[in-house]
Amino acid sequence: MIRGIRGAITVEQNNEKEILDSTEILLREMIAANQIEAEHVVQVLISVTEDINATFPAKALREINGWDYVPVMCMKEISVPNSLAKCIRVMITVNSSEDQEKIKHVYLKNASTLRPDLSLTNKK
């Protein structure tokens, strides 16, 4: 079975260090919460809002040991008026036998407002 694991985090500044550090924090939290092994990952998609362009957040995945060969791609999020600013969203597509409702989605910093119903802190 293929499952999608969602996550998002915001940054305060559009600079390379903060973007990479925040993306790595998010990815590590998603990986740990769902006990993901790189060899079971189909792909990782990362989107950013239009106000983030200082670096490719996908570079953060390469800092995680064993994730060198996982396909990853960055893209721009749709620019919707009044949407959450400076937001990095991640979708990890993984082969998993886990039931859909047991997947742990991770929303950090201001991104916790995006899907409070799916946020890790609201899971039972």
pTM: 0.93
Catalytic positions, written as ranges: 6, 62, 74, 77, 89, 107, 115
pLDDT in tens, the chain (124 residues): 999 999 999 999 999 999 999 999 999 999 999 999 999 999 999 999 999 999 999 999 999 999 999 999 999 999 999 999 999 999 999 999 999 999 999 999 999 999 888 765 444 3
CA distances from 38 to 70, 99, 120 (A): 7, 19, 21
Distance CA 39, CA 12 (A): 33
Domain locations in the chain as residue ranges = 2-122
Question: What tokens appear for 69 in the block?
Answer: 């060969």
Write the CATH number of the domain with boundaries 2-122: 3.30.1330.40
Longest dimension (CA), the chain: 39
State the sign of the Cα–Cα–Cα–Cα dihedral 102, 110, 44, 81: positive
- Asked if residue 8 lies in contact with residue 111, where contact means CB atoms within 8 angstroms, the answer is yes
